[in-house]
Amino acid sequence: MSSLPPQISLCDGCETIFTQSTLLPSATRTAELLAILRNGDNEHGHRASPELRATIVAVPAELARYDAELARLDAIFGQIVAGRKGLQSLHDQCVGIVDCPIRRLPTEILVQIFAHCEAPKEWDMGPILAPLWEEKAKQEIARVAGGWLAAFSQVCIQWRRVVFGTATLWQTINLDLRCWTLPVETSRASYLHQRMIDFLVVALEHGQQTPLTLNVHGAGECHPRAIQTLAHSSRRWRAATFTLEYVMFKNFAAVASNLPHLESLTLLALRGVNEDTGALADAMHYFGCAPQLRTVEFCGPIAVVAQLPLEQLRSCTYSGVGADDIVHLITQMARFPRGGSIYVQLNFEEISAALPLQLPEVESAIDEFSVYSMQHDGPESQGVLGAIFGTLTLPHLQELSLLGMPIDEQCLRPLHWPQSAARALFARSGSGHTLYSLSLHDVFVSEHELLQCLAELPSLAYLFISDHLAVDGVPGTPDHLITDSLLAKLSPADNHDINTRLAPRLVPNLAILDMRSLGAFMPSALLNFLVARTKGHLDGGFECALLWFPGHRLYVDAQSIAYLRPWVDKKELLFICREFDPREDYKCHYTVSDLNWNIRNELIHKWNVRVQTLTTKLVGDGSVAHGNICAIIDPVLPIPEKLGSNQRTQRVVRMWTTVATEQKP
């Protein structure tokens, strides 16, 4: 008998068995056959021959029986293997749902991720060419329908619920009306417009009752349905930006007395062909009742701004002010409340052609007044500024800023300082007791004129002054204001010197000085100025930024650094030496050149984040210690990401005074 079991149970349930062949040899029979093969015993071979021949005949049938059973079992085995693979896939999916990290993210985190995935909309005011119209329209439809949000909603049911169930993801509506320009000439265009309206309505519904931020830009006369649809949601508006032609503003009738939550309004009114201001003037009263409105940015005919509630604004920017607008601007300034800020972009070239100006005398309660140049070629800015300064009285003025006209990425065309009118304005307004910030970013002013003004401004705490690069077509450049002489005269008198102890002290409260310099001074003059100011400042430390023009690097040597170190260690001095970066440092002032009306607040926020990030990094890697003053002295420690040092950033820079910068050995 064979050593194999005579029967194999294939299924205990149905008792299916497979019977082994009786031809299977036993161990003894196998040994006999092997012995015959080894010995060549013919006698035994002849005797066994009939039996062997019978075995040879019978074995193929048994092999066929085995093969059939194996084929049957292979089919069963394949089904079992497939079943196991299915179970393994099910197990993996269940583990992915329960234990996968992305599945375990809280809804709040998913919402933040989704909110940051879509790239910011880049606005283009140019017309859409006819061959590209349908493609652009489809892109706009996809964006109005949700853009990346729509793609996220198709990943899984959980993400779909988050996308369509989170109202805050739908609180910003960006609409490019260039796809809506009239006339609509084809049924295909009408169909796409209707699709866009449908998706716009759905997007507004997804936002539920969350505050809305709108950005609507277009050129030409556009189909009114999109604006009318948005106007019916005006109760939700919190911030709205519209770049439209005059005629389009008539479609905002539904917002009249229906803006309870509007805080920020930006209107860039474009004048169409053969279009007067009547349509715009008729429509502006729609925005006249907005109890929460605090910030306005406007570019267009200034006269229509009078219909806005100026008495409640905290900030107002007038862009592109020309000769026809200047009287309306001055008149409207009288309506602003105490604590208000006004930023004005003037077309000096156009206004100077209308000199002499007949401007009314106005008293305004604003705290901050900033003037930027849109266009000027030469000293005509002095006459225009003089006329404006000569008609204003600003008894509460705390901040005054002047900024020139951009020439290229490195410099601006300077304005000309109206010395007599400025001194009269300061005297008439009592600025010696109120003005604490004076920013002369791009202003031609002589040392004598500057010192005269500073002598009348004892309350001044912040000052920005600048040299000027050589500019083709600008006489008087290069101009060196910051010299040994100026630094010496800005230094407090030595109390130990009987001849200077009783001399009047210029700007005794000066806490922050920013100087953009070409380096027309000796290092010793700068060090003497810094030490004198630091010793003479009784209320806190003194801060100074030395900014060099691109390509005109200034260095602070190791000996000077060592000389300043004692005042740094005693928390009495913050000194910064770095390159002036026009792309960053001009942005905080020159908002009107970019049509990015919210950049000022965004930039301040970004600088706060930068400072906090740097502080965390420096303390974390052990390069600084808490409790020491921070002195940033290039090249000892460069300023990461070109941190700004000007009037806007100093409020942020003061945060640095909680950490020190000490190099590791």
Same domain, yes or no, for 28 and 78? Answer: yes
431, part of any domain: no
Same domain, yes or no, for 116 and 69? Answer: no
444, part of any domain: no
Identify the weakest region by mean pLDDT among 339-353, 427-441, 614-628. Answer: 614-628
The proportion of the chain whose per-residue pLDDT surpasses 90, expressed as a percent, equals 22
Average pLDDT over residues 594-599: 32
pLDDT, residue 498, reads 43
Q: Are 337 and 365 in contact (CB under 8 A)?
A: yes
State the chain's mean pLDDT as an integer: 77
Average pLDDT over residues 61-76: 88
pLDDT, residue 629, reads 29
465, part of any domain: no
Identify the weakest region by mean pLDDT among 43-52, 58-67, 172-181, 442-451. Answer: 43-52
Q: Which helix (H) or strand (E) is 346 found in, with range?
A: strand 341-346
Residue type, position 210, single letter: T
Same domain, yes or no, for 275 and 409? Answer: yes
The Cα 355–Cα 338 span in angstroms is 31
Quick: pLDDT tens for 439-488: 998 888 999 999 999 999 999 999 999 988 876 666 666 778 899 999 99
- Domain assignment of residue 14, given as a range: 7-98
pLDDT at 350 exceeding the cut of 80: yes
Same domain, yes or no, for 154 and 67? Answer: no
| N-term to C-term CA, the chain | 90
Tokens of 487: 């630094």
Same domain, yes or no, for 335 and 378? Answer: yes
428, part of any domain: no
485, part of any domain: no
In this structure, are strands 7-11 and 16-19 parallel, antiparallel, or unpaired? antiparallel
Out of 29, 63, 98, a domain closes at: 98
Q: Are 424 and 390 in contact (CB under 8 A)?
A: yes
pLDDT, residue 4, reads 55
pLDDT, residue 503, reads 44
pLDDT at 622 exceeding the cut of 60: no
pLDDT, residue 607, reads 36
Quick: pLDDT tens for 297-334: 999 899 999 999 999 999 999 998 988 899 999 999 99
Question: Number of structural domains, the chain?
Answer: 3
Average pLDDT over residues 175-189: 72
Higher pLDDT, 262 or 57: 262
Same domain, yes or no, for 94 and 160? Answer: no
Same domain, yes or no, for 269 and 401? Answer: yes
Out of 402, 423, 444, a domain closes at: 423
Same domain, yes or no, for 43 and 66? Answer: yes
pLDDT at 395 exceeding the cut of 90: yes
Same domain, yes or no, for 187 and 78? Answer: no
pLDDT at 621 exceeding the cut of 50: no
Quick: pLDDT tens for 186-230: 777 777 777 878 888 888 888 888 898 888 887 777 778 888 888
Same domain, yes or no, for 310 and 383? Answer: yes
Same domain, yes or no, for 86 and 132? Answer: no
Same domain, yes or no, for 341 and 248? Answer: yes
The Cα 422–Cα 378 span in angstroms is 19
Neighbours of 359 (CB within 10 A): 16
Confidence of residue 580 (pLDDT cuts 50, 70, 90): confident
Out of 98, 122, 156, a domain closes at: 98
Average pLDDT over residues 657-665: 29
Quick: pLDDT tens for 86-100: 888 888 778 777 766
Burial 203-216 (b: 16+ CB within 10 A, else e): bbebbeebbbbbbb
Q: Are 555 and 635 in contact (CB under 8 A)?
A: yes
Closest-CA residue to 500 (of 512, 488, 511, 510): 488
137, part of any domain: yes
Quick: pLDDT tens for 518-570: 888 898 899 999 988 888 665 667 899 898 888 888 888 888 888 888 888 88
pLDDT, residue 30, reads 81
Average pLDDT over residues 405-411: 61
In this structure, are strands 237-245 and 212-217 parallel, antiparallel, or unpaired? parallel
Higher pLDDT, 499 or 265: 265
Higher pLDDT, 273 or 278: 278
Average pLDDT over residues 52-74: 86
493, part of any domain: no
Q: How many CA atoms lie within 13 A of 627 on its CB side?
A: 1
pLDDT, residue 464, reads 93
Quick: pLDDT tens for 637-651: 223 333 333 333 333
Residue type, position 541, single letter: G
The Cα 444–Cα 453 span in angstroms is 14
491, part of any domain: no
Give the global pTM: 0.71
